[in-house]
Every structure is written in structure tokens, then in C-alpha cells.
């Protein structure tokens, strides 16, 4: 029988990531994320509930998260739920359920820049299109003109072909 353990959240960091290394030398990063749920109750009043999630990342992903993320940043976290148990200093049994991150996307812009995405395998940085002094309308027409060269011009001669972001279907 198939089973699935998957968690996906979008929320704000409640504290700066804490980076440490275990005795084997592997990096571990932990932090908290708050998510909000809003709804209208049966009387028509707006209600809000905040949930707090503990997140843990390992290896290279942990190192990247600790450098990029800060308290208050909005972030998308993807991973699995894991519950660990231990004996407290007072002898009582304790347990914690946390999200073990496999992937994340920083949703708070870097300066006024784009989002940063990383997983255990890759790191991708998306930056905004550089400002070339053209307005948005001028920029669109310039891109379309480059895409469709004037009649009589060889299409293979145009090597500065740009992609119109408005034409991307996702």
C-alpha cells in the first residue's frame, strides 16, 4: 500500500535560522515558521488562527537557508513531517513534530530583487529584468520587434533574441 508524507507551507520566519554542525560534521539548520488561516464564522465575523511550525534542514540546504533567510522573511517550505522523542532534563518524555525541509523558495525579495529557490540538489536565483530605461510598453514592443525581424532580414542573423515574459504560460 502506498503512503505519502508531504508538507508544504508558506509563512513568515518567527526567528533567525540557527546553524550548527553535528559531531559527524553535517550541517543542521532549524527555525520556526508561522502560518495564518483566516475565515468567516457562522455569525459573519472574521476569524484568524496562527499555527507555528518547527523546520529543520540538513546538509548544503541548511547552509544556504542559514545565509539567506532571516526573521520576518516570507518563505515556501516543502518537506516531510517527522516526530522525534527524547527524555527531558527533568526525566519526562518529550516529543516534537517538525518539517524536515527538502526544498524552499525565499518569497521576500532580496533588496528589490527576485526569489531564491533551493533544494538538496540545486540552487536557482531569479533576478528581475534589468532596467534599460524603457517603459513596460516600450519594452514589450522592443522584444516583439526583435522576435519578428523586418521583412527581408534573415531570421538566423538575429542572435539577440529575447523572451517575452508575458508569453510564458505559467
pLDDT 10s digits, 155-167: 444 445 666 666 6
**In 3D, which of 33, 1, 27, 2 has the Cα closest to residue 15?**
33
The SS3 assignment for 137 reads helix
What pLDDT is recorded for position 161? 61
Give the Cα separation of 100 and 102 in Å (integer): 7
141 CA to centre of own chain: 32
Tell whether pTM > 0.85. Answer: no
pLDDT 10s digits, 62-106: 999 999 999 999 999 999 999 999 998 998 999 999 999 999 999
CATH of 7-125, one of 2.40.110.10, 2.40.50.140, 3.20.20.80, 1.10.287.130: 2.40.50.140
Mean per-residue pLDDT, 104-110? 86
The pLDDT confidence band at residue 143, using thresholds 50, 70 and 90, is very low
- Higher-confidence residue of 24 and 142: namely 24
pLDDT 10s digits, 12-23: 999 999 999 999
Question: Domain spans of the chain?
Answer: 7-125, 136-167
Report phi then psi at 132, rounded to 5. Answer: -105, 15
**In 3D, which of 159, 136, 137, 135 has the Cα closest to residue 146?**
159
What pLDDT is recorded for position 108? 84
Residue pair 6/25 in contact by the 8 Å Cβ criterion: no
pLDDT 10s digits, 28-72: 999 999 999 999 999 999 999 999 999 999 999 999 999 999 999
What pLDDT is recorded for position 73? 94
Amino acid at each position: 500500500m502506498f503512503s505519502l508524507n508531504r508538507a508544504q507551507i508558506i509563512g513568515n520566519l518567527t526567528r533567525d535560522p540557527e546553524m550548527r554542525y553535528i559531531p559527524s560534521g553535517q550541517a543542521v539548520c532549524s527555525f520556526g515558521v508561522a502560518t495564518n488561516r483566516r475565515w468567516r464564522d457562522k455569525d459573519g465575523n472574521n476569524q484568524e488562527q496562527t499555527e507555528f511550525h518547527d523546520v529543520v534542514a540538513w546538509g548544503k540546504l541548511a547552509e544556504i537557508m542559514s545565509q539567506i533567510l532571516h526573521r520576518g522573511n516570507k518563505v515556501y517550505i516543502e518537506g516531510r513531517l517527522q516526530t522525534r522523542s527524547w527524555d527531558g532534563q527533568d526525566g519526562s518524555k518529550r516529543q516534537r513534530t517538525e518539517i524536515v525541509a527538502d526544498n524552499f523558495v525565499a518569497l521576500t525579495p532580496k533588496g528589490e530583487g527576485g526569489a531564491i529557490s533551493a533544494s538538496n540538489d540545486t540552487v536557482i536565483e531569479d533576478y528581475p529584468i534589468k532596467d534599460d530605461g524603457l517603459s513596460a510598453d516600450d519594452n514589450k514592443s522592443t522584444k516583439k520587434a526583435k522576435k519578428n525581424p523586418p521583412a527581408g532580414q534573415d531570421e538566423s542573423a538575429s542572435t539577440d533574441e529575447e523572451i517575452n515574459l508575458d508569453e510564458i504560460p505559467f
